[in-house]
A and B are shown apart, each in its own frame.
Chain A
Amino acid sequence: MGDGLYVNGLRAWFGDTLVLKGVDLTVAPNAVTAIIGPSGCGKSTFIRCLNRMHETVPGAKVAGQVLLNREDLYAPGVDPVDVRRRIGMVFQKANPFPTMSVFDNVAAGLRLGGLRRKSQLQESVERALRHAALWDEVKDDLDRSGVSLSGGQQQRLCIARALAVDPQILLMDEPCSALDPIATGKIEELIHDLKKELTIAIVTHNMQQAARVSEWTGFFLLGELVEFGITKEMFTTPGATRTEDYITGRFG
């Protein structure tokens, strides 16, 4: 089962520049929450704050609360490494480890996390690849290089890699922006299946995609959350004129 995330007054900086100006938002459990908005609105930064990836950039800072099971992920003493094990991430551009095979890519998180037993590894890798709807395409040659796959397959490989460590939440930062419509369709189907087992937050540039895959949508503009609500309602009767202007294509 997935867990929800409760974000309170989240602010983020790059150096001295404030890029998130206090965001309150709830990522509902076992559902898909889409984050939309024009380039530079802070949506990627927002999602990267949810698993403490933002702070890996030199000079980046975060303030505010992100609660998972009533525990603040930014409380002192919380290990960001532990947070990232529970909240997985898929990036804009597929980034399989180039020196590793398909199998090793998926096993990387488990193996480097200390799991050694071969039978257990094989089982987990197969399960993750099945979850990511990639198993049938790669099962005959798990030893081939991860980067020899097609773009869409590489992205599903990255999803499998993230799923293998059994996260409660999966963050996706524009996972389809480098893919063609067919590969995009596969990933969207996958998102639909995955939400039965975990919680998903997805950043997307593509408003049709947000409408297709998500239950909840947040619209960001200039570092602020302008509107947050049920996707269907937001796309039919947006509450704010700025939201309406954006989703009807008047800017961004």
Chain B
Amino acid sequence: MSPGGRRLVSSAVGGLTAAAAILVVCPLLLIFGFLLYQGVSALNPDFFLHLPKPVGEAGGGVANAIVGSLIVIGLAVAVGLPIGILGGVYLAESSDRRLPWALRFVADVLNGMPSIVFGIFAYTVVVIPMRRFSALAGGFALGLILIPIVLRITEEMVRLVPSALREAGLGLGLPEWMVSLRIVIPAARAGIITGVMVAVARIAGETAPLLFTALGNRFWHRGLDQPIATLPLQIYAYAIAPYDDWHRQAWAGALVLITLVFLASLAARVATRGRTLAR
């Protein structure tokens, strides 16, 4: 091929990849812009500080849903994070073949499972025995979704740590568990935290598994064994209601949700800068 032709092909391919990359971020920008446009008019201090008002009264806020979301996500993380991370380290470090293979397969199936199934499961094993909807049931359902995501991401990140580091630790006479905990996991820390943030962002927006576990609540919750409001549930309730004011609040709620997730990711990125390997 002539140099001119080669240059032409090169710039054409370069242009195509750039266009594809821009297309990828377009939906995000569009969604965010649309949320701003629709929701910003309902955003005011009241929105963050007050409870929802009864139908017909203007104003009110979603303070209880914001707090509720944080609580339910906190519960899910408290349950799911240690299990997911430790399990992921096991998958990456185990010299056994069969059990990790089976676990990996199950985790992948779970990752592909519609989230409402987790809700039904949590309903069956938590809500029915307790005879009430609760924050605990919601946290349990979200925790179940969180575990396989964190598990697989942790495994991948731990695998990225060069085996030379593992050998350095073993060669120093450190037992294997200590090499994993003190050398391998810290080296994979940034990647693991990024992965955890992806997982948290995912569960923060889940609505279906909360419909018949956390249920929702128009007031402050009165204990973890009580129904609790969360942002996605509130958005859902407002969006399907026939009132314009509520629609505006639903948009604003979505805007707040996205912003919270965005800020959390950003904080994680900042916190993990520095002496790390992957990512």
Interface residues of A (CB under 8 A from B): 51, 53, 56, 58, 81-86, 88-89, 91, 93, 95-100, 108-109, 112-113, 145, 147, 158, 161-162, 165
Contact = CB atoms under 8 A, between A and B. Distances in A.
Given A81-B173, A98-B276, 16 more contacts: A53-B170, A56-B167, A56-B170, A82-B173, A84-B171, A84-B172, A86-B173, A88-B171, A88-B172, A91-B167, A91-B171, A95-B168, A109-B173, A112-B182, A113-B174, A161-B168
Given A98-B275, A112-B182, A58 B173 contact: no
Contact of A98 (B95, B171, B277): B277
B170 A109 contact: no
Interface stretch (B1-9, B146-154, B183-191): B183-191
Contacts of B275: 98-100, 145, 147
A108 B170 CA distance: 12
A85 B178 CA distance: 14
B112 interface: no
B168 A91 contact: yes
Nearest to B174: A112
Contacts of A58: 95
Q: Which of B162, B164, B189 has the most CB of A within 10 A?
A: B164
A44 B168 CA distance: 15
B164 A109 contact: no
B175 interface: yes
Interface in B161-207: 162, 164-165, 167-175, 178, 182-183, 186-187, 189
A58 B163 CA distance: 12
Interface residues of B, number: 22
A85 B173 contact: yes
A109 B162 contact: no
Contacts of A161: 168, 172
B168 A93 contact: no
A9 to B, nearest CB: 25
Contacts of B95: 58
B93 to A, nearest CB: 11
B164 A91 contact: yes
Given A53-B167, A56-B167, A98 B187 contact: yes
B172 A109 contact: yes
A97 B183 contact: yes
Contacts of B183: 97, 99, 108
B174 A95 contact: no
Contacts of A109: 172-174
A84 B165 contact: no
